[in-house]
Structure 1
């Protein structure tokens, strides 16, 4: 996860400086001929506070959208003026902003490519999880994996309704297909 053209499984992880948490990631190519997925794990000092930024970006239709999100989402987030005071709003606004940047930057390519995003942001003792698409975040406690996000799939009644309310439509063609550039859900 994280390098275009990788074919070997990738895994890794680390620990926070204060030893309060550890993190890990793993990926494998599966049946595809090239990797379209990226991950980002960062522990940064932001305004004197230690912040953990973790994300998995599952590309579809190519790797370029997922790579763009990896390179820009967290940098945009830590610059957001409400990052510490209203982290949830800052995350939602940053997802939308990064999506807009991708659409502006990607004018020369076919816009069939996209990316899911599954993120966990640790600010002090608060963990905020946000996701877009069908990537899932899990937390491990006592050896048990616990889902902390809900996949967004167009065959779900509420997700289909959200898509239609935004002016798009969902059709079945062996799988659910969406015709619309979707706004980011918060």
Structure 2
């Protein structure tokens, strides 16, 4: 008989009841759910930052190359083509450079060679070249005539880039080195 009593459930033993276990699992599930939502939000933010950084770097490299090369515009009738989506010019070393906004990309072509993509993901409807003369009058009759091309004193490049729902706009003014003028009157 003593053997049967020792096999019975001993009530003085420490343990959890079924209700305590279900409540504990429920609380744990809520905590894990909150942490999962927080972690997912953090990962999305990191992904957005990475995408924005990538598109920003692409745009910055493309714009700086254009600015650097257009500043070295040749003397005289150096601008060969000037429209809202294309700018072709000869630099002071005789290289013909053609920058084009077309088909969602920003292209550069050197001396009639193949187009190289400076930047893709370009919103071409919102990106353009704009031109002004020395009197700060916008030159808007595209393509620009020879006399207007000879009078271009400054170019404004607007470049809109879209990547994974992120949009970045670059707006850059460039004055050719050989056509600098004082804005102080």
Q: If the length of structure 1 is used for normalisation, what is the TM-score?
A: 0.22
Higher strand share: 1
Mark the structure with the bigger radius of gyration.
Answer: 2
> Which has the larger share of helix?
2
**TM-score, normalised via structure 2 length:** 0.22
